[in-house]
Structure 1
Amino acid sequence: MNKKTLIKVCAVTCGLGLTLAGCTSSNNSNEINNTKKYNTEINSQDTEKTGSKEIINKKIDENLYIDATLQMPETQLNEYNTKLKDFNLKDIMAYLYPDIKESDLVKDDAGGFNYDDSYIGGEAGSMSYSKDDDTSYLQLLCGYADEKKLAETKELQFESITEARAQVKELTDKMGIPGELGKENITAFNSADLNNIQSNMEQDSDYKDLLSAKKQQSMTFGTDTEIYCFTYGIKIDGLPVYANDDPILQQTRDVLIAQPVNIEVMISNRGIESVFASGIMDEPDVCNANVDIIGEKEITEALNKKFGDVILTDEYKVTNIWMEYFPLLQNDSFTDIKLIPVWCLDFEVNGNGAEAGGYTIRINAITGDEIA
């Protein structure tokens, strides 16, 4: 297996289809809830306000409803200018290997660096580090475990989750990742877990062929082998930034308009095994401070604008509304970013959520325009 960990490229699905999947919905029932009582007067208000929360239960148009809670932000929000980050790969290697000398690094044609069996590389917004060939195989095992739901969160013997998390925080600070670490996912594996995953993978016809193509032989794991895998998004002003595990962007343009944030770190009893980051920005600069955020009225207007000329034969219902910062790539640039607050709206279609026909749209929380 090639020791150079390939830089992952975020692929954004193009084309807006009313039945595309990609939302995180609060109700995944396959049946329409016919007992729910809606305000059936089209465009009429049926909203209960409790502090900064608005419970909205209304019919907007024929077969178009909102049944969700709107939580207005509790802090002042801004628009920011920033750009995709160019990582200082030498500084990161110096952190990982404190005794390294610059002359020990061997630069390749892509701008990455080899150091013994380790490799680090990157491009705008992305970087990838792998300790050695064994690390690449461990990444494959952990990815398979996540896909097949063989992974769990637990404390390992070589260090606690708290200690490992502190290592990740120190590393991401050194990398210059802005804001604070956001949504966290942790999986943990000991040698018995890894042997079980490897056995399952070798019996899986799809992965068996992959292993054969890569000429990858089975590994023998020492009894002390233990691994934590951490994944994160980031937060700015306490809001999550559009991330890799968020609902997909319903995009109508043929160009990339955003790169979702993703941070992955693998730590074992050998130390930091691998690092992958994508969609990472420089520290953002405020370009429009204390912006006014639209509420229920303007969201309804945005939905009327989107669906007003469409005859809906299926029932579309907004079941979840939340806010995030969206890193919108600027026209004619692959690196310049405008970071804007957006409202995210999850739809159920005929009672079906993300896995069966629902989808998500994003609305600029300042202008009311759909992000597409």
Structure 2
Amino acid sequence: MQFGIFTVGDVTPDPTTGRTPTEHERIKATLAIALKAEEVGLDVFATGEHHNPPFVPSSPTTLLGYLAARTERLILSTSTTLITTNDPVKIAEDYAMLQHLADGRVDLMLGRGNTGPVYPWFGQDIRDGIPLALENYALLHRLWREEVVDWEGKFRTPLQGFTSTPRPLDGVAPFVWHGSIRSPEIAEQAAYYGDGFFANNIFWPADHFRRLVDLYRRRFAHYGHGTPEQAIVGLGGQAFIRRNSQDAVREFRPYFDNAPVYGHGPSLEEFTEQTPLTVGSPQQVIEKTLTFRETFGHYQRQLFLMDHAGLPLKTVLEQLDLLGEEVVPVLRKEFADNRPTDTPSAPTHQDRLQHAAKVGK
């Protein structure tokens, strides 16, 4: 089981001070947060990709390439890479290069993106979101597995005798998660290829995401990749932690009430009751997170959103101390208990390399 954090890279005013960090400050803060994740023993850091204000992570591979040189153990990932508006040829090149730089500590999550204006900025139409996701990934999948590719589709120029360079490290493509908030077609795509499926599991009730995960598991088995229980599932989560639950609620409330995503809507109490958000003590975060297994079955990766809504860097780093020292060690033990022996481990480059050697691929 892998535990980590993911960021959307928002530049949001701190409602308690009225101050908005500069883009430079937010980028530097993101680096500090990723380095702290490794320091406190987390497994994964994932960055989003956005090309519009108020977000800064427009170049995930630049950020992750820097972190590859500054970390030794952390898996570097995305949340998400836009398969719809990025050229799959460039994705193939960029993430294979990053895979080499990080000695295999790389995977990526592919998603459609839900910001309409971004599509025409890159020559696409949001109404083609699903067809773009399907066609572009079909090409990306081949580029990493075939030395020479001849290809023709609807959304980009044909390829004749094309070889993507560098080739994936050790001949093993980066592991791919397909991320989705609402699209069953993406769950189907993940199942078809035998890839991982990541359910955002943040802003909506768990039952909504359970339906997507259940669909993915059934179709994973349908395509012959294993039993439904052997499908590779990742989940999002969201927490604000203080040693005392009353302190957590009091401190986080102004950030919640003014957050661009959910502010001025349901109360904090209503939202924590209806969604996976936990605001409270380490024990409360542990208890809430353990319910995810009851809803979704045994799964492989748990990421938490910790740095959004204008929270200052000092506060986020304190959150990571609590997450790494008091929450994750207990979750590791609890999730390991009664875990069936045929449940797959979380994907790593080394494990996938050994598997490839066994099956002769």
TM-score, normalisation: structure 1: 0.20
Larger radius of gyration: 1
> 1 or 2, which has the higher strand percentage?
1
- Which structure features the higher share of helix residues? 2
Larger relative contact order, structure 1 or 2 (CA cutoff 8 Å, min sep 6): 1
